Every structure is written in structure tokens, then in C-alpha cells.
Amino acid sequence: LWRIDDNFITVIIGVFVFITATQEYQFVRIESLLEEHCVGEVMRGQFTRLLANQAVETAFRELQRGGEKNFLVFDDEGDLLGVLHDRDILSLLKANVESDLIAEHLLPAPPPADPGDTLKQVFDLMQRERYRILPVQQDGQLIGVIDVHAIHHFLQLQRKLKK
């Protein structure tokens, strides 16, 4: 029969500790990056503004362009009403409701971020509340957006720069 000696068990424990420590180091490094950088460094100042009275098909066309995945939705006066996410747009197309108005399917507007907020503050909020995009306001004026894809892209670039 098989006999497991003490050295083998010690090696397995050592590998487990090494893997766990490596993951913890990566987590701490990401947290540090998010704490050191602010929304203003990552936000997009130019973004697509969908209107609530447009058809879902319009949102799909914007999604197809590939530059954005999550959208802010406004009324005719330019007031923010809510958001529409890529997953929702695709689900609506599968349900054959592309002629419906965006207003019928938008999610409530999330709270705005400030350009001086840390990425950690914003990322934690997005994780906790399941937001995928936030408007960025300065002195009450909308100046851009930040979404989970922008934060992810930022982290990827930082990782490549550190290599």
C-alpha cells in the first residue's frame, strides 16, 4: 500500500503556503495601486450619451462600435436618468424588444464619483452595489464616466509597466 512520508506532506504544505502568500501579495499590490490613483486619471471625458426616448436598437449600435460597454441615459433636457449595461442590451435583443424605448429598461442612476476619489473608493462602491459605470462630476457638472472596464484596463497597464 501507499505510504506517505513526512517530507512529502511538508512539501505539499510549503507549496500551499507559497501559493497563498503569492495571492495575498497580488491582492495587496492591487489594493495599493487603487489607493494611490484617483478617478480623474482613469475616467473618460468623452462618452456616448444615450437618450431615454431612443430605441434599444440604438444602444446596440453603440455597443457594436466597441468603444463602450456601459452607458449613461439622459432625458431630452440632459438630466441623467439611469444607466444601461452591455449585458442588458444583449438580453433585450435576444428578447426581440429592440424597438422598445431605452426608458423602459434602464437601471436607476448611480451616485456620481468625484475626480479626486481614489480608485479604491470607487471600485469598492462598484463591487458592493454592483454598479458597472458611474458618472463623474466636479462642482455639480458631469465631466466624464468611469466603469469597471476602465479600472481593469488601468490595472493591466500598471502590471505590464511593472514587469
| Nearest Cα residue to 80 out of 131, 141, 130, 138 | 141
Residue 159 has what pLDDT? Answer: 82
Residue 113 has what pLDDT? Answer: 98
Distances (CA, A) of 16 to 3, 8, 28, 106: 21, 12, 18, 45
DSSP type of residue 43: -
Question: 125-144: per-residue pLDDT in tens?
Answer: 999 999 999 999 999 999 99
Q: Give the pTM.
A: 0.79
Length reported for the chain: 163
pLDDT at position 28 over 60: no
Question: 68-89: per-residue pLDDT in tens?
Answer: 999 999 999 999 999 999 999 9
Residue 117 has what pLDDT? Answer: 97
CATH T-level fold of 39-162: CBS-domain (3.10.580)
The ranges assigned to domains in the chain are 39-162
Residue 49 has what pLDDT? Answer: 96
C-alpha 163/C-alpha 151 separation (Å) is: 19
Which residues have a Cβ under 8 Å from the Cβ of 103 and sit 6 or more positions away?
52, 53, 73, 81
**Residue 58 pLDDT grade (very low, low, confident, very high; cuts 50, 70, 90):** very high
